[in-house]
């Protein structure tokens, strides 16, 4: 492993798919010190190497598989790999994370990053086994589901321990909401699977036998143990361990944080009964998505019998289930579990797919789509019977699925007739299952997230102003959440700026964000990085690195035409809910959105018209 960069593998693979060539390069110590890794290092590489205006599905686009320095199985939440690219769905910065053993295994093989360039003339699989890097024909994998591909690849390689990323049929068909799968875990958002499909890249498999050596190995090991011991007593850690993310459905429904009927409301009232059915009928056990995970918030589920009979699989996360229940007024939990299973097998982003179906149902209700347009499908609200069919139609681009496979923004433009009014997205990315009418910090994060409307960049903003969490950021200037009302507006812009700087760090470091819910703070990460690398680094510097990463991603988007006018929310999110618990609560909607956005730009040091970092801010961050 690297002698120059302690705690890193110190090498990266640059892959040329056109020539089926790979060369090993040194990782830049300078970029590593300024951006650390993950989405930070990848943003710097893509900003430097991609020309503005390229076709995201053309050979000029690049795909970076990025670990962070803490993508290590012994680190709390360390089982992560980030995929970074220009998004074909949004046309701007694209990134998604998947939790499994691929990231730690890539580092054990001796590499921090894989930079994939060009397009293969035929389907290809990349195999990394320590210093052996090979290309294999992958024609025989075409058309197979994700589980079929993964099993076939491991059998072909003769080692069941290989970690595999692959696309499903949706990626092969260039569906713009296609995911990349790691078994039943998803790098789901921004159309990452379509980028792989456009390059004829079917799968990447990795197996490593090396080891990352810390600069201070004894201190590093001791601190990791003490952190594990500390967080396992945290109530939120224990809650995620017991109930998983789906356990939030009842409380979010009650709290106005559960988008319903394509965002016409933020509560439905059916969350508790749906969750009870899930717990008693679908849930089997909790498990960790990577070796060494102690939180084990993933759910193994099934549908035992009936029309939606579904085998045991890992899935049914909060977002996935919400998008196939409340979004479309579906009261059949078995149907939702089955739909998320199909998405995983076919390689579809569950959030975008559920959003697209909700959009189609509203188009159907308003007469913009007819039964004939939909090949006889009855797209009435709540009709769960059509879910398996329409999910497959999107994945295979059949009938109406061909249009819906483009995402709601593009589909609405083609349908016309005012369909854009209920195509709920930010920068083209379909909205996730958290409602900014539950806590107004979320509205600012939705409007300004670099990859499009996103609940996880940073962590759910309303978890600060509604949920009263601070992630250890009060010492760095975040207002005490107990002094802030969730309906407050003034001050939310400056607070979100700091939240973004701090809560982008797991994506930079290569860790799971849920561990920050479990009690891991910026100061914990800083101590781990210091012991791992030997660098003199603290929480304040980590926050500055987070700010640098947010800004370079923003500059990437600026080259693609994004300005302050694009930092907006769909009109429906700024309206009082049409029905439900909060339909008589006018304070739940933003009244001074533009004023708070000006506050955000001022705090950020961004020009209020262009929405870009000023020259002074760029110089301050070393981005000039």
Per-residue pLDDT tens over the stretch 33-66: 999 999 999 999 999 999 999 999 999 999 999 9
Query: Domain for residue 609, yes or no?
Result: yes
Check whether residue 261 and residue 405 sit in a common domain: yes
What global pTM score does this model have?
0.97
Check whether residue 419 and residue 448 sit in a common domain: no
Question: Measured at the alpha carbon of residue 176, what is the angle toward residues 387 and 86, in degrees to the nearest 5?
Answer: 150
Check whether residue 453 and residue 600 sit in a common domain: yes
Question: Does the pLDDT value for residue 538 go beyond 60?
Answer: yes
Check whether residue 293 and residue 416 sit in a common domain: yes
**Do 459 and 473 meet the contact criterion of CB atoms below 8 Å apart?**
no
Per-residue pLDDT tens over the stretch 349-398: 999 999 999 999 999 999 999 999 999 999 999 999 999 999 999 999 99
Q: Which of 179, 207, 235 is the last residue of a domain?
A: 207
DSSP state of 67: -
Query: Domain for residue 146, yes or no?
Result: yes
Query: Domain for residue 262, yes or no?
Result: yes
Residues pairing with 21 in the sheet: 16
Task: Produce one character per residue of 511-540: b if its CB has 16 or more CB atoms within 10 Å, e if not.
Answer: bbbbbbbbbbbbbbbbbbbbbbbebebebe
**Do 323 and 433 meet the contact criterion of CB atoms below 8 Å apart?**
yes
Check whether residue 137 and residue 105 sit in a common domain: yes
Token match 């076939």: residue?
Answer: 152
Task: Produce one character per residue of 347-375: b if its CB has 16 or more CB atoms within 10 Å, e if not.
Answer: bbbbbbbbbbbbbbbbbbeeebbeeebbe
User: Residue 114 is encoded by which pair of tokens?
Assistant: 């894989």
Beta-carbon contacts of 62 under 8 Å, excluding residues fewer than 6 positions away, are 45, 46, 49, 50, 85, 115, 116, 117
Runs of H (alpha helix) within 142-216: 146-157, 169-172, 192-198
DSSP letters, 398-460, are: -THHHHHTT-HHHHHHHH-TTGGGG--EETTEEP-S--TTS-THHHHHHHH-TTSS-SSSSS-
Question: Does the pLDDT value for residue 458 go beyond 80?
Answer: no
Residues pairing with 203 in the sheet: 125, 166
What was the pLDDT predicted at 3?
A: 60
Return the CA Rg of the chain: 23
Check whether residue 492 and residue 372 sit in a common domain: no
The C-alpha atoms of residue 298 and residue 289 are separated, in whole angstroms, by 7
The C-alpha atoms of residue 593 and residue 618 are separated, in whole angstroms, by 26
The C-alpha atoms of residue 188 and residue 351 are separated, in whole angstroms, by 8
**Do 191 and 87 meet the contact criterion of CB atoms below 8 Å apart?**
yes
Query: Domain for residue 433, yes or no?
Result: no
**Beta strands 113-117; 11-16: pairing state:** parallel
Q: Which of 427, 452, 483 is the last residue of a domain?
A: 427
The C-alpha atoms of residue 494 and residue 479 are separated, in whole angstroms, by 10
Check whether residue 298 and residue 168 sit in a common domain: no
**Do 438 and 424 meet the contact criterion of CB atoms below 8 Å apart?**
no
Q: Which domain holds residue 73?
A: 11-207
**Beta strands 163-166; 201-207: pairing state:** antiparallel
Q: Which of 156, 183, 207 is the last residue of a domain?
A: 207
Query: Domain for residue 102, yes or no?
Result: yes
Helix/strand/coil for 57: coil
Q: Residue 268: which pLDDT band, with cuts at 50, 70 and 90? A: very high
Question: Does the pLDDT value for residue 445 go beyond 90?
Answer: yes
**Do 489 and 440 meet the contact criterion of CB atoms below 8 Å apart?**
yes
Query: Domain for residue 234, yes or no?
Result: no
Q: What is the CATH number of the domain that holds 272?
A: 1.10.569.10
Check whether residue 258 and residue 331 sit in a common domain: yes
Answer positive or negative: Cα dihedral of 88, 92, 98, 102.
positive
Per-residue pLDDT tens over the stretch 55-100: 999 999 999 999 999 999 999 999 999 999 999 999 999 999 999 9
User: Residue 5 is encoded by which pair of tokens?
Assistant: 């960069």
Helix/strand/coil for 594: helix
Mean pLDDT value across the chain: 97
Residues pairing with 450 in the sheet: none
Q: What is the CATH number of the domain that holds 174?
A: 3.60.9.10
398: left (phi over 0), alpha (psi -120 to 50) or beta: beta
**Count of structural domains, the chain:** 3
Q: What is the CATH number of the domain that holds 471?
A: 1.10.599.10
Nearest to 201, CA basis, from 161, 174, 163 = 174
The C-alpha atoms of residue 79 and residue 228 are separated, in whole angstroms, by 15
Question: Does the pLDDT value for residue 2 go beyond 90?
Answer: no
Check whether residue 410 and residue 495 sit in a common domain: no
Give mean pLDDT, residues 423-444: 97
Residues pairing with 16 in the sheet: 21, 117
Query: Domain for residue 288, yes or no?
Result: yes
Question: Does the pLDDT value for residue 1 go beyond 60?
Answer: no
Helix/strand/coil for 85: strand
Beta-carbon contacts of 279 under 8 Å, excluding residues fewer than 6 positions away, are none
Q: How far apart, in Å, are the Cα atoms of 556 and each of 46, 253, 569?
A: 8, 36, 21
Check whether residue 522 and residue 566 sit in a common domain: yes
Q: What percent of the chain has pLDDT over 70?
A: 100
Check whether residue 484 and residue 616 sit in a common domain: yes
Task: Produce one character per residue of 297-317: b if its CB has 16 or more CB atoms within 10 Å, e if not.
Answer: bbbbbbbeeeebebeebbbbb
Q: How many CB atoms lie under 10 A from the CB of residue 207?
A: 19
The C-alpha atoms of residue 78 and residue 101 are separated, in whole angstroms, by 9
The C-alpha atoms of residue 441 and residue 451 are separated, in whole angstroms, by 17
Beta-carbon contacts of 100 under 8 Å, excluding residues fewer than 6 positions away, are 79, 81, 163, 182, 183, 185, 289, 290
What was the pLDDT predicted at 459?
A: 77
Answer positive or negative: Cα dihedral of 105, 109, 110, 114.
negative
Question: Measured at the alpha carbon of residue 158, what is the angle toward residues 154 and 159, in degrees to the nearest 5?
Answer: 65
Query: Domain for residue 116, yes or no?
Result: yes
Who wins on pLDDT, 3 or 116? 116
Check whether residue 69 and residue 150 sit in a common domain: yes
């Amino acid at each position: 492993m690297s002698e120059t960069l302690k705690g890193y593998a110190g090498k990266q693979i640059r892959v040329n798919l056109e020539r089926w060539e790979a060369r090993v390069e040194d990782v830049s110590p300078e970029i590593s010190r300024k951006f650390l890794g993950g989405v930070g290092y990848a943003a710097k590489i893509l900003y430097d190497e991609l020309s503005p205006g390229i076709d995201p599905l053309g050979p000029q686009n690049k795909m970076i598989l990025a670990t962070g320095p803490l993508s290590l199985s012994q680190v709390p939440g360390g089982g992560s790999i980030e995929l970074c690219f220009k998004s074909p769905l949004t046309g701007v910065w694209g990134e998604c994370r998947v939790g499994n053993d691929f990231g730690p295994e890539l580092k054990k093989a001796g590499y921090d990053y894989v930079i994939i360039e060009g397009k293969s003339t035929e389907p290809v699989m990349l195999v990394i086994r320590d210093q052996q890097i090979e290309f294999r024909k992958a024609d025989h994998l075409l058309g197979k589901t994700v589980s079929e591909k993964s099993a076939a690849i491991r059998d072909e390689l003769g080692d069941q321990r290989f970690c595999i990323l692959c696309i499903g049929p949706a990626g092969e068909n260039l569906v713009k909401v296609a995911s990349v799968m790691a078994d039943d875990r998803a790098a789901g958002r921004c159309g990452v699977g379509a980028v792989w499909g456009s390059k004829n890249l079917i799968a990447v498999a990795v197996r490593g036998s090396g080891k990352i050596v810390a600069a201070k190995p004894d201190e590093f090991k001791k601190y990791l143990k003490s952190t594990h011991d500390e967080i396992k007593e945290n109530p939120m850690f224990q809650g995620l361990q017991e109930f998983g993310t789906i356990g939030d459905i009842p409380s979010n429904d009650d709290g106005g944080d559960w988008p319903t009927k394509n965002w016409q409301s933020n509560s439905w009232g059916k969350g508790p009964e749906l969750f009870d059915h899930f717990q008693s009928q679908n849930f089997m056990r909790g498990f960790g998505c990577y070796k060494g995970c102690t939180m084990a918030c993933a759910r193994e589920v099934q549908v035992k019998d009936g029309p939606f009979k579904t085998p045991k699989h890992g899935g049914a996360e909060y977002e996935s289930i919400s998008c196939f229940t409340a979004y479309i007024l579906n009261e059949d939990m078995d149907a939702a579990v089955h739909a998320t299973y199909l998405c995983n097998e076919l390689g579809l982003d569950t959030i975008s797919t559920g959003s697209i179906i909700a959009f189609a149902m509203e188009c159907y209700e308003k007469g913009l789509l007819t039964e004939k347009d939909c090949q006889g499908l009855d797209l009435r609200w709540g009709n769960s019977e059509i879910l398996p069919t329409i999910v497959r139609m999107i994945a295979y681009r059949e009938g109406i699925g061909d249009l819906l496979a483009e995402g709601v923004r593009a589909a609405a433009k083609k349908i016309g007739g005012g369909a854009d009014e209920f195509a709920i997205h930010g920068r083209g990315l379909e909205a996730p299952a958290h409602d900014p009418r539950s806590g107004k910090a979320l509205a600012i994060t939705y409007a300004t997230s670099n990859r499009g409307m996103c609940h996880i960049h940073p962590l759910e903003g309303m978890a600060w102003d509604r949920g009263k969490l601070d992630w250890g950021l009060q010492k760095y200037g975040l207002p005490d959440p107990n002094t802030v009302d969730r309906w407050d507006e003034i001050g939310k812009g400056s607070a979100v700026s700091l939240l973004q700087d701090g809560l982008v760090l797991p994506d930079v470091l290569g860790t799971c964000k849920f561990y920050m819910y479990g009690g891991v703070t910026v100061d914990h990460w800083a101590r781990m990085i210091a012991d791992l690398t030997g660098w003199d680094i603290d929480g304040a510097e980590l926050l500055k690195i987070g700010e640098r990463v947010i800004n370079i991603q923003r500059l990437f988007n600026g080259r693609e035409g994004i300005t302050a006018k694009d930092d907006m929310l769909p009109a429906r999110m700024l309206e009082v809910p049409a029905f439900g618990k909060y339909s008589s609560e006018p304070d739940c909607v933003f009244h001074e959105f533009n004023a708070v956005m000006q506050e955000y730009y001022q705090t950020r040091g961004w020009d209020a018209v262009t929405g870009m970092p000023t020259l002074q801010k760029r110089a301050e961050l070393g981005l000039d």
